[in-house]
A and B are shown apart, each in its own frame.
Chain A
Amino acid sequence: MGMANLHAWLDTGSPAAEDDAVAWLFRVRYPEMVRLADLLGADDPEDIAQEAFARLIRRRDSLRNPDAALAYVRASVCNLTRNRHRHLRVVRRRTPAATPEESSEQAAILREDHREVLDALAGLPPRRREAIVLRYWLDLSEREIAAAMGVSPGTVKSNVSRGLAVLAAVLGEKS
C-alpha cells in the first residue's frame, strides 16, 4: 500500500509534540515530496522538498490538523516547482546551455517505453502535468489535488482529462 493511501495522525497537544509531529511527518513524507518535485520536473527536487518542509516548520502551529499539514507541504512543493520552472525559463532564455538534463545514469536505467511516456508528460503544460502526476502517482482524489494545486475540483478534472487526451495522442493510443 502506498504512503498516499495512509491516514496518519499525531497527538499534538504541546509545542514539543508539534516539533515531533513535524519531524515525524518529514520522516514519513520527505522522500515522497522529493519524488513529487522530481516528477514535476524540478531541477533540484531535494531543495524544493526541504524548502516546503522548512515553511511548514515555520508554521508548525498549524499542525493542529496534520492532514492539513501534509496538504500544505504538497501544495508548497507544487508552487515552488512552478516557481522554479519560471525561473529556469528565464535562465534558459539568457543562457541556453543551462537547460537541465536527465543524468546519463537515469537515462540508461529508464525503460524505453517509460521514457516515451515521461517525455510526453514533460511536454504538457505545468498544470496538466501536476494534475496527472498527483492523480496517477500519488493516487490523490480530485479534492486533494485541487487543494495541492489551489484550483477547483472541476479544473482538476479538466486538466486530467485533457492531459490524458494529449498523452494518448502523442503515444498513439486511445485514452
Chain B
Amino acid sequence: MSTVEERLREALRERASQSPVSPDAWPKTVARASRARVRERRGWSRFGIPAAAAAAVAAIVAGSAVLAGGLGTHGASSPTAPPSATPPPSPGPGDYEMQSAPPVTAVVRVRLTVDGQTTWTYVWFGYLKNDRAEGLAMCTVTYGDGYGGGGGCGPQNVPAHQVGHSNGPYGSITMGTSLKQVTAVSARLADGRTVPGVVVSGRGFPYKFWAVVRPASQNAQIIFRGAGGAELGHLAMAAQYPVPPRPRTGGIVVFRYPAGTQEATAGTMTAYLLDGRVIGSRGKVVGFWDSDSSSVISGVGPSWSSAVVSVGGDYTQGATEAWFYGYARQNVARVVLRLADGRQYGAPTIAGWAGSGLRLWAFAVPTRYLAGGGQPHEVLTGYDAAGHVVAQVTLR
C-alpha cells in the first residue's frame, strides 16, 4: 500500500470517529418512514402527475412480456403463474425510482415467475436527477413474491465489445441490458440446466431489457442469442450465497444476555465454527447466533489479519448494556476494551473448538459510556497469559 493510501485510511478513520450519532435516531427514522408511506399512498390522488411521467405511464406495455417456468430461489421448478394474476399499479410519481429518474421512454411491464409466484417488474430509462451526466439510467421496480416494490436506477450501459450487461442478481431475478440484436436470453447453470429468460424492448429504449429467474446460489452464464438462435455472447455470473442454516451441533455459548440488552428478550449468544464455503469463503468462518436466530458471521481464514476480532458491540435502543464479543487467536488470554474516556472493560477468553486455534470472548459495557454510538477510538486489546499485548484494534 502506498503512503497516500495509508494516510487516507488513517485520516478517514479519524474523521469518521468524530461523526456524532444521536441516540434517538431509530424512532425518528420510523416516524419519517411512516410519513413517507402516507404521502406515497395518497400520491396518485393528491398530487398531479408530471407530464413526462404521465405520458410514459400511459405508454406502459401491458403484459408485454411473460416468462413462466423459471427456477426459484431454491432451484425447484416452478409452475406457470396463474393467468388471473393481476399486475400492481405502475410506480407513481411519488415512487423513489420515478423521482430519481423520471422516464423518458416507455415504461414496460415484465411478468416473471419466482417459486411459483408471479412478480411484476416495471422497467424504464431516464436521466438520474442527481447525476444527469451519467447518461440514461435504467430503472426497475419489482412487485410480488416479497419484492414489494424494490428496485433501483443506475447506468446499465453495455460495455464495448460486449453483448449484454448486468449489475448482478436481485434475489432470484437477474436482469440487465443487451444490444438490440439480442432476441433471446437464457441462463446456463453450473449444474448443467438451462433456464430461459425474457428479452423486451420499449419505445425509446437505448438497449433491450432482459431478465432470467435463476438460483443465485449457483454460478451461471447468461447466454445471449440473436436471430436464428446464434449465440452472440455471454456474461459470467458468480454465485451469491444464501443464509446458512444454524448448525444443530457444535455450538459454544459465549454469553447470556438479559432482556433489553442484545435483544428485547433475554437469551444466549452461541458461536459455531462453519465451513467457509457456506458463504463462498475459503477456510473456516465463525457464526454467532442469538436466541432469535439472528446471525452474524465473520470470516476467519485468509481474511483474519488480527489476533482479536470483534463482531459485536451493538445494542437495542434504551439498553443499559452493550455486548462486545468475538473471537481471538489461541494465545490471547484476555480481551480489554478501552473507551475514549479511559474506562476499561474486558474478560478472559474462553476455549473455542478443539483444534481450531480459536478462543471466544464477550463482555458487557454500560451504554451510558457509549453515548451516541459514535464514541471515537474504542481500542480493543488482546493480552496473552503473561500480560503482553498480542493485538490491538481500533473499533468504529
Interface of A toward B, CB cutoff 8 Å: 1-3, 5-11, 20, 23-24, 26-28, 30-32, 34-35, 38-39, 45-46, 49-51, 53-55, 57-62, 64-68, 72, 75, 79, 82-83, 86, 106, 109-111, 113-115, 117-118, 121, 132-133, 136-137, 143, 146-147, 150-152, 154, 164, 167-168, 171, 173-175
Contacts and interface: CB of A to CB of B under 8 A. Distances in A.
Given A10-B295, A150-B155, A174-B4, 20 more contacts: A7-B279, A8-B295, A20-B294, A26-B29, A27-B316, A39-B16, A51-B32, A53-B33, A59-B150, A61-B149, A72-B152, A82-B131, A110-B15, A118-B11, A121-B8, A147-B167, A152-B155, A168-B2, A173-B3, A174-B3
Contact of B171 (A39, A68, A147, A152): A68
B341 interface: no
Contacts of B279: 7
Contacts of B11: 111, 113-115, 117-118, 121
Nearest to A139: B9
Contacts of A152: 155, 157, 159, 165
A97 to B, nearest CB: 24
B146 A9 contact: no
Q: Which of B16, B36, B100, B159 has the most CB of A within 10 A?
A: B16
Given A54-B36, A62-B150, A146-B167, A39 B12 contact: yes
B373 A79 contact: no
Contacts of A26: 25-26, 29
Interface stretch (B48-56, B198-206, B250-258, B297-305): B297-305
Contacts of A45: 19
Contacts of B356: none
Given A1-B311, A6-B296, A167 B149 contact: no
A144 to B, nearest CB: 10
B14 interface: yes
A79 B130 contact: yes
B248 interface: no
A4 to B, nearest CB: 9
The 9 A-B residue pairs with the shortest CB-CB distance in the complex, in nearest-first order: A61-B148, A62-B150, A150-B154, A57-B33, A114-B11, A54-B33, A117-B11, A137-B12, A35-B16
Nearest to A149: B154
A5 B303 contact: yes
Interface string B9-49: 11111111011111001101110110011001000000000
Given A6-B297, A58-B33, A72-B152, A11 B4 contact: no
B7 A147 contact: no
B4 A6 contact: no
